[in-house]
Structure 1
């Protein structure tokens, strides 16, 4: 199991006992098919829903664990409408339309399982009435809309190389009066440039970068072996190619990895850092990589740039030279529908991309 999955599985195991027995049963049922991170999101969604039921007086339970199936059975459509309104207007952080849709979808999955799949000792459904079956959840994440939001917020053409060059040199010049920033930059600039270059030349997700081990790198063949999102076979790593450009940064960084970060032999991580107060290097976290890219992006004059937008930048550039199917495979998308975003981000049409595939 990869590093992020191990962490999420531990959090899932910790949080699950606070759920009613029937939700625990549902999570066990889904465990072979969904990643721990997805199931953890499910549990958080259910925790919010059950807390809302109790706060609204729709459940008499004193804790979420004690909310009964009978209380779910008698919910009216007005209650679900009320919950949807709560999600879109709650003061402690508003949810986007996509987030609301996802939270309702996770509820619908639970109710479907309880009413159509799970059964009691007499072979009757655990839930006799499914109010969520009446709820229409409209698709809100359309490729064309996503593309419109990304327009002007990704790196294009020569900017890809400029950003890597800025991490190596420009940032240090801009921070010349900040001794702390200069010290950190001198220590980490080759590593940071390597991470940015790898994403911009392969399209890896940040979680995939975090999980990389030193043994996953085949520098000569410009190849990495990656745990891909959605693949629940814990023993299989997908081969992913990277461009020649990233090979240079990887060669430089891997030579520095041991001597500069004092990574012990037992540390398998490709990308490491030395935490404050410690002497040995350890695996970088997802949050650390995200914060690092944001730091450089702001100084570079593109404060909207994130790790995921680096992935979008690669994908758009890659799609200009390849068809939609090759782009889908390179990015590890489950379907070409997700990859359509990059057709809308370029001047090419979907039909042109498909026809070229047939040549």
Structure 2
């Protein structure tokens, strides 16, 4: 069977039926190439694939030194691929149904305190053309918990300043309403004074955040900016745009917000994804107990 044609059908399925973003489609497509190269090397058609073949494939991923988290992602893509072939009628049985992913140690993402966010914002040189823009970006990411892809695509038609909320189009083109703080709105307003002096490229007028050339930003630009800003603020943690999203959720939970409400604001389809923040909060609580409980305090 022609694997090129199968892959094209699968990619079309992800894009049209699953409504995945182009970034997600590209990731699944790249990961499935590992499997197709393996099957080609073994001379196997998809109808001939059994669980034992997939377990051999998983073993090879480990032997090639691929990280456990990447192995898990690739095998998740493999299961998605075979579920598609089942739905497509190509296969009658799913050989990946009992395929296990490697066990991953629990990974708690880095979290920034409000004080660290303030330090980052204070470290920005507002005399530079992009200074106020960068300050506004950090405040919006921290105040609203947006994904970086959601921020770069934010348009003025999605900002309802009077009602203090944003209309966000997230994964799968699903829309949600996210409250925005007065601080974040104020930082955006200050950025607009600078933005109004720019030469904006045709077709880019609706994007809230622009680069120096008057075009909307890319995810990579924001990643580099946030890493550099954290460094300038003397923060030694590994900081990315997603760190601000984690910090937003953790701050809400520590403030007493309901987990379901946090799930809605983050745009998580599954509550299990949101529940990692309960682990972060428990870690914080444990540290508080170790530091402040009388049974743990040393005599001085």
Give the TM-score taking structure 2 as reference length.
0.82
Corresponding residue of 1:314 = 248
Answering whether residue 107 of structure 2 is matched by residue 146 of structure 1, we say yes
Deviation at 1:200, TM superposition (A): 0.9
Aligned-partner SS, 2:144: coil
1:132-161 deviation per Cα after TM superposition (whole angstroms, max 9, x unaligned): 2342336748xxx233xx3xx321132222
Contact 2:177 2:265 in 1 (8 A): no
Corresponding residue of 1:132 = 96
Answering whether residue 45 of structure 2 is matched by residue 71 of structure 1, we say yes
Deviation at 1:78, TM superposition (A): 4.7
Could you tell me which of 19, 44, 48 is aligned with 2:30? 44
Answering whether residue 220 of structure 2 is matched by residue 287 of structure 1, we say yes
Corresponding residue of 1:28 = 12
Answering whether residue 206 of structure 2 is matched by residue 220 of structure 1, we say no
Greater relative CO (CA pairs within 8 A, separation 6+):
2
Deviation at 1:282, TM superposition (A): 0.5
Corresponding residue of 1:117 = 87
Q: How many residues are treated as equivalent by the alignment?
A: 278
Contact 2:166 2:179 in 1 (8 A): yes
Answering whether residue 268 of structure 2 is matched by residue 333 of structure 1, we say yes
Sort the Cα spacing of 1:253 and 1:89 in 2 relative to 1 into closer, same or farther, 3 A. farther
Deviation at 1:128, TM superposition (A): 5.3
Contact 2:223 2:241 in 1 (8 A): yes
Deviation at 1:344, TM superposition (A): 1.7
Contact 1:219 1:251 in 2 (8 A): no
Contact 1:35 1:230 in 2 (8 A): yes
For 1:86 and 1:138, the matched residues in 2 are separated by 13
Instruction: Within 5 Å, give how 1:102-251 maps onto structure 2.
Output: 102-114=73-85, 116-119=86-89, 126-127=90-91, 130-137=94-101, 140=104, 145-147=106-108, 150=109, 153-168=110-125, 186-231=128-173, 237-251=175-189
For 1:100 and 1:336, the matched residues in 2 are separated by 24
Deviation at 1:227, TM superposition (A): 0.8
Deviation at 1:77, TM superposition (A): 4.5
For 1:253 and 1:197, the matched residues in 2 are separated by 12
Sort the Cα spacing of 1:42 and 1:264 in 2 relative to 1 into closer, same or farther, 3 A. closer
RMSD over aligned Cα atoms: 2.6
1:201-260 deviation per Cα after TM superposition (whole angstroms, max 9, x unaligned): 11111000011112322223322221112335xxxx43211112212211100121120x
The unaligned stretches of length 5 or more in structure 1 are 1-17, 60-69, 120-125, 170-184, 276-280, 350-359
Contact 1:73 1:131 in 2 (8 A): no
1:292-341 deviation per Cα after TM superposition (whole angstroms, max 9, x unaligned): 10111122222411110011111111222212122111111112211212
Could you tell me which of 72, 80, 86 is aligned with 1:101? 72
Answering whether residue 54 of structure 2 is matched by residue 80 of structure 1, we say yes
The unaligned stretches of length 5 or more in structure 2 are 286-300
Contact 1:73 1:129 in 2 (8 A): no
Give the TM-score taking structure 1 as reference length.
0.70
1:75-120 deviation per Cα after TM superposition (whole angstroms, max 9, x unaligned): 4545323322332343xxx533232122112212222332x3223x
